[in-house]
Amino acid sequence: MRTRGVWKAVALFSVLAIVSLFFIVPLAWIVASALRPASPLYEYANPLTWRTFIPSKITFENFVHIFTKLDFGRAILNSLFVSVSTIFLTVIVASMAGFALAKFDFRGRQLVFTIVLITFMVPFESIVIPLYVMIKQLRIDNTYWALILPGVANGLAIFLFRQFFAEVPSEIMEAARIDGASWLRIYWRILLPLSMPAIVTVIVMVFMFQWNSLFWPLVATHSSRFEVVQVAIASHRSTENTSWANLFSSAIAGSLPPVLLFLFLQKYFVRGISGTGLKG
C-alpha cells in the first residue's frame, strides 16, 4: 500500500515538473537577464545555450539602480499601503453583502445581485472619465482615498463571498439564533471563521487588483509621492528608449510581494467546517 502511494507521488511530481517548465522557462530567462549587466536583449536568447538561463557574471546592479536612483522602494510601499487598505475595507464590506445575498431572501435581492454582476462586466476604460470627474468633485483626487475607495467597489468579491457562504450550512446559524445571538455576532463569530479559504481568496484577489492597476493611479493622483508599482515599471518603455535591464529588474522586484503573499496565505487553505464533515 505505501509503495503505491509513493509511486503516485512520484508520478504526480513528474507531471507537475514538466507542466511547470512551460511557466518557468520564460521567467527564468527574464530573471537571468535582470541579473546580468545591461546587454543586448537577444544576446543569450539565440542560439540557446546554458548561458541563456545562467548568467556568467551575476550582478545585482540593475536592482540596486531602480531602488537607489529611481525611487522604486517608494512605489512598492505605496502599492502595499493602498492594497492593504483596500483589502481591509473590501473584505468587510463585501463579505457582509455576500452574506445577505447568500442567506437572506429579501426584497430587491435579484436587483442587487444583478447590479453586483454588472459592475465587473463593464470595462474600466469606459468609466474612467466620469469616475475621475466624480473624484474631483468629491475633492479626494490626488490623495490615497482616490486610490483606495473606488477599489472597494468590487462586485467580484461580493459574488465570491456569496458563492462560498451559500455552502455554509444554515443550521449552524439557526441554532445560534435560537441561542439568542445577534446577526452581527453570527456573521462575525460563526460565518467568517468558517470561511477562511474565501477570505484568503478575496485578499489575494483585491491585492492583485490594486497591485496591478496602472491607468487609474495615473489619472487619480499626480504627485510623485503617490507613484505606484506598475507606473514605475511601465516608465521604462517608450519609443525613444527602452531600458530592458530596468524593466526586467523592476518587473521581478514588483512581482515578489504578491508571490510572497500567496505563499504565506497557503496555510489558510484549510478545510472549513463543511470540509471536516461536521454537520448538524
Partner 1 sequence: MRRLLVLMILLTGVLLSATTLEVLWMGWPKDQVMQLINAFKEENPTIEVEIQLVPFGQLFQTIEVRLAAGDGTPDVFIVDGPNNASYAARGYLLALDDYYTDEEMNDWFKASIEEGSYNGKFYSVPYGTSSAGIFYNKAIFEEYGIPFPSESIDERLTWEEIAEIAKKLTKDTNNDGIPDVWGLVIEQIDRPYLLFPLMQSLGAQVLSDDGFVSQGYITSQEFVQGATFYWKLFNEWKVSPQGVSDSAIAREYFGTGKAAMMLGNEWNLRRLAQYPGVDYGLTPFPYFEGGVAVTPTGSWHVGINSKTKKLDAALKFTKFITGRDAVVTWHLLNGIAPARYDVYEALPEVFGNAMWQLFFNEMENTAVPRPVTPGYSQYELMLREAFNSIHYGADPKKTLEDAAIRIDRELRRYR
Partner 2 sequence: MFRNNRVAWFFVIPALSFLLLFKIWPIGVSFIESLTMTSFTGKKTFVGFENYTYLFKYDPVFWNSFWVTIVYSVIVNPLIVISSLLMALLLNGSHFFTRFFRTVFFLPTAISFAVVSVIWMIVLDPYYGLANSFLTLFGLKPQPFFSSTAQALWGLIMLNVWRSSGYWMMYFLAGLQNIPEALYEAAEIDGASTLQKTFRITLPLLTRTMSFVLVANTAFNFLSFAPVYIITKGGPIGSTNLLMYESYKSAFVNLDMGRASAITSILLAIILVFSFVELRLTRAKFDY
Q: What is the per-residue binding string for partner 1 in 36-65, x denoting contact by CB under 8 A?
A: --x-xxxx----------------------
Strand partners, 242: 237
Residues 121-140 that bind partner 2 (CB under 8 A): 121-123, 125-131, 134
User: Which residues make Cβ contacts (< 8 Å) with residue 32, sequence separation at least 6?
Assistant: 44, 52, 53, 54, 55
25 near 52, Cβ under 8 Å? no
Nearer to partner 2, 156 or 190 (CB): 156
Our measurement of the distance from residue 221's CA atom to the centroid of its chain's CA atoms, rounded to an integer in Å, reads: 21
Site string for partner 1, 190-219 (x = CB under 8 A): ------------------------xx--xx
Binding to partner 2 by residue 255, rule CB under 8 A?
yes
Cell digits of residue 193: 471563521
Please choose, from the candidates 257, 253, 216, 258, the residue with its C-alpha nearest in 3D space to the C-alpha of residue 63: 253
**Rule CB under 8 A: which of 132-161 touch partner 1?**
132-133, 136
Which H/E stretch holds residue 98? Answer: helix 72-103
With CB under 5 to 8 Å by kind, the binding choice for 276 among partner 1, partner 2, none is partner 2
- The partner in contact with residue 143, picked from partner 1, partner 2, none with C-beta cut-offs of 5 to 8 angstroms by kind, is none
Could you say which of 3, 110, 238, 276 contacts partner 1 (CB under 8 A)?
238
